[in-house]
Structure 1
Amino acid sequence: MESAWSSPGGSLGSTDPQLQQFMEAEVQKQRVQLLIHQMTELCWEKCVDKPGPRLDGRAELCLVNCVERFIDTSQFILNRLEQTQKARSPFSERLSD
């Protein structure tokens, strides 16, 4: 039996609406933290050859570009998934009728 707690999109049933909002906010925070961690790791590996007390201009520019592309790509993927879900939604509603 699958618990509603195990699924981020799952319903919390008759749970207090404030608790449900709190849980949804916490899941969102966790997703943002994960995204920041992934972005930091990826861009650091790509841009920083020799860690030192200061970033050189090349590494700084590389980090800025890397972060911007990472955000652009993430936004593109989210938009595409949203469009796909909207396109499927009317079809799946007709199936459930």
Structure 2
Amino acid sequence: MSDSFDTFSSGLDTTKGADKELQEFLMVEKQKAQLNAQIHEFNDFCWEKCVDKPSNRLDSRTETCLTNCVDRFIDVSLLITNRFAQLLQKSGGM
């Protein structure tokens, strides 16, 4: 009886390890998807804001506008993320 229980419990340990690996993999993939979605969002926003007419080269005004737009977009995203983290910490969510 003891041998079959030991085999069963070691099987559970393997399953738990696999579940943890799967959870970590899914978390990394979710973060990648969120990053890609955010990049797509600021590409769309900054393109509409800065590019008057597409051509094979960016003039300096358009390039500066795109750089500033993306920088501000990232700054705001980080500000919001940090603010939510602070609110979670204050509410005891972490």
Q: What range is the shorter-chain TM-score in?
A: 0.7 to 0.9
RMSD: 1.7
Distance in 2, Cα, partners of 1:84 & 1:28: 21
Higher RCO structure, 1 or 2 (CA under 8 Å, sep 6+): 2
Partner of 1:82: 85
Unaligned segments of structure 2, at least 5 residues:
1-15
**Higher alpha-carbon Rg:** 2
Extract unaligned runs of 5+ from structure 1: 1-12, 91-97
Report the count of equivalent residues: 78
Deviant stretches of 4+, over 3 Å: none
Partner in structure 2 of residue 18 of structure 1 = 21
2:53 counterpart of 1:50: yes
2:56 aligned with 1:64, yes or no?
no
Q: Percent identity?
A: 47
Distance 1:20 1:26 in 2: 10
